[in-house]
Structure 1
Amino acid sequence: MPKITVFHGDITQQRVDVIVNAANRALRGGGGVDGAIHRAGGPAILQDCMDRYPRGLSVGDAGWTTAGRLPAKWVVHTVGPNYLAGQIDQQLLESCYRRSLEVADEIGAQTVAFPLVSAGIYGWPIGDAVDVAFESIWAARTAVASVTLVAFDHEIYERMRAKQGEVTPLRILDGVEQLHERGYEQLRLLPYMSPSGMHWRVEIAEAATTDDSAGYVVYRNENMVLRYSTGSGPEFAGAIVDRSTTPDDVADLILASMPWVQEHVPDRAYADWYARLMQLIRAQDAVPIAFADYYDTRQGWEVGWGSGVFIEAPPPLPR
């Protein structure tokens, strides 16, 4: 699946192979993104639209033209459904992304920038439009390597980052399990909720740099701890971690950020406990919490905030 990047700014400035235009059926320019692309690209785009598609395009379809003065090589025009006019079939919106990527494949594009189709003057509900954009791109069978989703509006940008980061915590947990399988069994983590309860956080450290003799975790060197918060969205260890990122990829990111971690130093009790924890995580489709303000930590770790599903606390650190 393509690697997705979320960008806050002007889509007409994207230096990619293809800029996708959210067009109307006539392909004769209009307002919003459509008007901005035609203004920035110049009259060559409109002329190519008239020459190549004299009858326009159907809703959900896509076609390509020159990019004119834009920094891209081509513009792919796709006709989004007008939600306010009663075109509420989600499959039409999904088709816009699928067909745009198919057209990008036809012309040999590797990098594509999309707006959030139909979310402007066509009134598609923003949350649903964001979900459809990501799910459609992730599901597409395409040779396109990289997709940038561009939001001019800051609120839409934040919603996109939140959607992209939905699976980031689970990918991080998968990455730690992968490292255990590679022989880095002393790699441990501490997951918890922020005091506000708004964000899940996790700290990853090597057992040798950690002390729990006082009944709680203390790090001997704070600079040797790798941290993540859901407030960072999909950004982890200097990279984007989302559905297109494999556990092996995450394991490599952790090692690159923590090059001091020792291989083949056994901690079989912890690795076995962690494997059982991951079974619960996958069954619950939820992240673990070692501590928070609302429950007695003597029950162990809870899998899913407020789920009532617990696993005993991890084995003590080796002395």
Structure 2
Amino acid sequence: MTTLVAVHGDITTEATDAIVNAANNAMRGGGGVDGAIHRAGGPEILRDCIARFPNGLATGDAGWTTAGALPARWVVHTVGPNFGAGQRDRGILESCYRRSLEVADEVGARRVSFPLISAGIYAWPRRAAITTAIDAIAGARAAVDEVRLVARDESAHREIASALVMTTSVRILQGVRELHRRGFHRLRVSPGLAPSGLYHRIVLTDAADPDGAIHYTSGAETEFAGGTVDAMSAPHDVAALILRALPRLVATHDAPEYVAWFAGLLAAVEPEHALPVSFADYFDAGAGWEIGWGSGLRYPAPPR
């Protein structure tokens, strides 16, 4: 299984199999990460770009070249969407990560280091860039052993590291949706904040067995239901942990309204991993659940 980690550092010094370059369509070098990689790697990278990409590279696509003088073996080039120029389709940004990992698999890379694609001069909002990166890498199911998200800026690194921890909550909620789709309609969710406000909590219960419950806190990081759930966990794996921890839960197919409500909740949560809150100190849930603590965005309370 591929591991995903946050790294504070300079991508041009990554001693790994492949580093990913946030290139432009011309594939002839540029500014930001692109310029730094060409400068550090030397003219051999540009010569290979000219030879391998005579017509440039399409947005969302990827391809590889030599790494020149860099400590990596290959450079995987990808062209991210320019948010500032109106290219705001998340699917294209996801394609950059997916195609880069496909190319990494083609050349046999086992360890790959990415910058945050499009989050620099292409102005993609950083939070959205981070969550897109995490979800796209997790969804790619690549053969590589390790993916590193490298940030030179300390604040960006902290935000990536925090997002990786909080993604466990998202994966748990996705595991619940997976079970709902299989007919386990009596599985209920209550997410909220610890009194300190530092930790996200989730309580899972079987509506037919109030004595059975699973408690998760982000303070436990990836520990959940006697197993491990992280950013790379698939919904069916999370579902298996839930079923093991709630052995009396059965498929009843009897609460489609709740299932539809929960699916709508996740649709609001997933784009930027804005975690839902149904309980917290001084929080009135009567107006609905909040999507992202402090956002003011409310989602209707669950049907009874």
User: Which TM-score applies when normalising by structure 2?
Assistant: 0.63
Paired position in structure 2 for 1:80: 80
CA displacement, residues 205-236 of structure 1 (integer Å, 9 cap, x when unaligned): xxxxxxxxxxxxxxxxxxxxxxx96368x466
Aligned to 1:178: none
Instruction: Quote how far apart the aligned CAs of 1:198 are.
Output: 2.9
| Contact preservation (8 Å) 2:171, 2:233 | no
Give the aligned partner of residue 98 of structure 1. 98
Counterpart Cα distance in 2 of 1:23 and 1:6: 21
Secondary structure class of the residue paired with 1:46: helix
Question: CA deviation digits over 1:12-48, x for unaligned, max 9?
Answer: 1222211000001111111111111111111111111
Residues 1:115 and 1:16: Cα distance change in structure 2 (over 3 Å)? same
Deviations along 1:144-194, whole A, 9 cap, x unmatched? 221111112223222222322224358799xxxxxxxxxxxxxxxxx9954
User: For the Cα contact (< 8 Å) 2:11–2:150, is it kept in 1?
Assistant: yes
Pair 1:247–1:33, CA change in 2 (3 A): same
Partner Cα separation in structure 2 for residue 271 and residue 84 of structure 1 = 47
Distance apart, 1:52 and its partner CA: 1.4
Alpha carbons of 1:140 and 1:44: their partners in 2 closer, same or farther (altered >3 Å)?
Answer: same
* Corresponding pairs, count: 244
Partner residue in 2 for 1:56: 56
Distance 2:171 2:79 in 1: 35
* Counterpart residue type for residue 112 of structure 1: V
CA deviations 1:250-307 (Å, max 9, x no partner) are 9xxxxxxxxxxxxxxxxxxx9879x79xxxxx987999x9x97559xxxxxxxx99x9
User: C-alpha root-mean-square deviation of aligned residues, in Å?
Assistant: 4.3
Distance 1:90 1:73, change over 3 A: same
Per-residue CA deviation, residues 119-146 of structure 1 (Å, 9 max, x unaligned), is 1001111121112111111111422221
Task: Tell me whether 1:244 sits opposite 2:233 in the alignment.
Answer: yes
Structure 1 residues not aligned, in runs of 5+? 174-190, 203-227, 251-269, 277-281, 296-303, 310-319
Distance 1:60 1:248, change over 3 A: closer
Higher-Rg structure is 1
Query: Any stretches of 5+ residues in structure 2 without a counterpart?
Result: 174-190, 203-215, 251-257, 267-274, 284-290, 294-299
In structure 1, the residue matched to 2:5 is 5
SS at match of 1:131: helix
Deviation at 1:241, TM superposition (A): 3.4
Contact 1:105 1:142 (8 Å CA) reproduced: yes
Whether contact under 8 Å (1:199, 1:230) holds in the other structure is yes
Task: Give the Cα–Cα distance (whole angstroms) in 2 for the partners of residues 68 and 141 of structure 1.
Answer: 28
Contact 2:172 2:229 survives alignment (8 Å): no
Q: Distance in 1 between matches of 2:154 and 2:201?
A: 24
Residue type at the aligned position of 2:3: K
Conserved? CA contact 2:4–2:232, under 8 Å: no
Query: Counterpart amino acid of 2:136?
Result: S
Contact 1:3-1:244 at 8 Å conserved across structures: no
Residue of structure 2 equivalent to 1:22: 22
In 2: Cα distance, 1:27 partner to 1:272 partner = 55
TM-score (norm 1): 0.60
CA deviation after TM superposition for structure 1 residue 200, in Å: 3.9
Identical-residue share of aligned pairs (%): 52
Q: What SS is found at the alignment partner of 1:21? A: strand
2:144 alignment partner in structure 1: 144
1:89 aligned residue:
89
Q: 1:293 to 1:89 in 2, by over 3 A?
A: closer
Partner of 1:102, secondary structure, is helix
Q: Which amino acid aligns with 1:230?
A: S
Which residue pairs with 2:218 in the alignment? 230
Q: 1:61 is aligned with what amino acid?
A: D
User: Take 2:90 and 2:169, find their aligned partners in 1: how far apart are those partners?
Assistant: 28
What is the distance in 2 between the residues matched to 1:58 and 1:155?
A: 31
- Over 3 Å counting, the alpha-carbon distance change for 1:169 and 1:14 in structure 2 is same
Q: Give the Cα–Cα distance (whole angstroms) in 2 for the partners of residues 150 and 247 of structure 1.
A: 27
